[in-house]
Amino acid sequence: MAAQAVGPKGEAFAQSRGLSRRHALFGGLCLCCLPTAGMSAGAYAEAFTMEEVAPGTFIRKGLIADATPENADAIANIGFIVGRDGVLVTESGGSLVDGQWLRGEIAKRTDKPVTHVVLSHVHPDHAFGAGAFTADKPVFIGHAKLKEALDARGEFYRRRLVELFGEERTGPVVYPTMAVADTAEVNLGDRTLSFTAHGPAHTTSDLSMRDSASGLLFPADLLFVDRIPSLDGSLKGWLKELERVKASGATHAVPGHGPVRVELAPAVAALTAYLTALRDGTKAAIAKDVPIDKAVDTVAHDQGDKWKLFEHYNRRNITVAYQELEWD
């Protein structure tokens, strides 16, 4: 068998013949079949409400779902805190329209300027609402590693959202203007928000926040409740950072997904239980030379009834964990 046929020949071959069928196809999905209209503005607004989880602190519960053309990626818990001198957006939303809806909810409640918008990490369901706030010229606060992460993936995510619900509803990739490498504080006059930049955990750009007035912790996606967590940073790192979250002294938190306000200790315990099962099961599989394609069928399955969307993410989490742990 001629090994020299590998590569150059194959590549040239592919390029010479691919064009004929590209007209109706874009990466395996026929564009003409994609729903484009989505939810109407009215229906969208009716589907969501803001809950006041602490004085002056309003959170919208995200859908427990993946992004679809209909839901405009409104799947994360987003909201805002009203301070004496201005408004801080805790999470901006999953798309421009999601962010615009949030901007509208703020306007209903206060005329104060939006002075700060938190970009809690790189994922699109948390980052793409930011475009709705650029006109307010706020400080966009993010982890020091967020820029690098957005460089690598921002446009990639944007294209996928555009494919789902169009350019207009997606919005731009917005970069942080204030980078937090370790800790930072923002003073809204009558309350101070304290930020902590975490090591690789859920992602490599996780930023958590604590409100001095309510004592509430905003761990963003370091804390998933009900919805199965997705691993995209470091499994061992996440377990480590959860120890820091526990040690924060907060009793209640606003998780990135799930209920808008939870008791911190049991929520962290449940997440730790899943991540520990994922770690130990994957380690055991690696130790027993169970290959990755078999490990995805077995690891952490006893956690299945505890999490929504379990089947969507558990196998993928194992795939990610396996690659991290197999080099130990």
Cβ-based nearer residue to other proteins, 157 or 274: 157
Q: How far is the CB of 24 from other proteins (least distance, A)?
A: 8
Geometric angle at alpha carbon 174, from 173 and 175, rounded to 5°? 120
Q: Dihedral sign for Cα 265, 186, 241, 237, please.
A: positive
**Rule CB under 8 A: is residue 183 a binding residue for other proteins?**
no
| Residue of 92, 120, 204, 205 interacting with other proteins (CB under 8 A) | 204
- Phi, psi for 226 (deg, rounded to 5): 70, -50
CA distance 225 to 95: 22
**69: contact with other proteins by CB under 8 A:** yes
Of 255, 273, 295, the C-alpha closest to 90 is 255
* Residue 1 or 135 having the CB closest to other proteins: 1
- Least Cβ distance, residue 4 to other proteins (angstroms): 8
Q: Is 18 in the site for other proteins (CB under 8 A)?
A: yes
Looking at the DSSP assignment, which residues form a beta bridge with residue 141? 118, 178
The span of 39-47, 134-142, 191-199, 224-232 binding other proteins (CB under 8 A) equals 224-232
Pairing type for strands 183-187 and 217-224 reads: unpaired
To the nearest 10°, the Cα dihedral for 59, 64, 70, 74? 30
Q: How far apart are CA 115 and CA 121, in angstroms?
A: 19
> Of these, 115, 292, 301, 308, which contacts other proteins (CB under 8 A)?
292
Q: Does residue 13 touch other proteins according to CB under 8 A?
A: yes
Q: In a 3-state reduction of DSSP, which class is residue 72?
A: coil
Q: Helix, strand or coil for residue 213?
A: coil
Q: How many residues does the structure list for the chain?
A: 328
Q: Is 316 in the site for other proteins (CB under 8 A)?
A: yes
Could you tell me which stretch among 19-27, 52-60, 112-120, 240-248 binds other proteins (CB under 8 A)? 19-27
Binding of residue 119 to other proteins (CB under 8 A): no
Q: How far is the CB of 6 from other proteins (least distance, A)?
A: 5
Q: How far is the CB of 72 from other proteins (least distance, A)?
A: 11
- With CB under 8 A as the contact rule, the residue among 51, 68, 237, 252 that binds other proteins is 68
Nearer to other proteins, 175 or 194 (CB): 175
> Per-residue x/- mask for other proteins, residues 239 to 278, rule CB under 8 A?
----------------------------------------
Strand 87-91 and strand 139-143: the pairing is unpaired
What are the Cα distances from residue 26, in Å, to 1, 53, 125, 145, 183?
Answer: 34, 43, 23, 32, 44
If DSSP codes are grouped into helix, strand and coil, which group holds residue 40? coil
- Site residues (vs other proteins, CB under 8 A): 1-3, 5-7, 9-11, 13-15, 17-19, 21-22, 24-30, 34, 65-69, 73, 75, 94, 123-125, 148, 150-157, 159-161, 163-164, 204, 221, 230-232, 289, 291-293, 296, 312-313, 315-316, 318-320, 323, 326-327
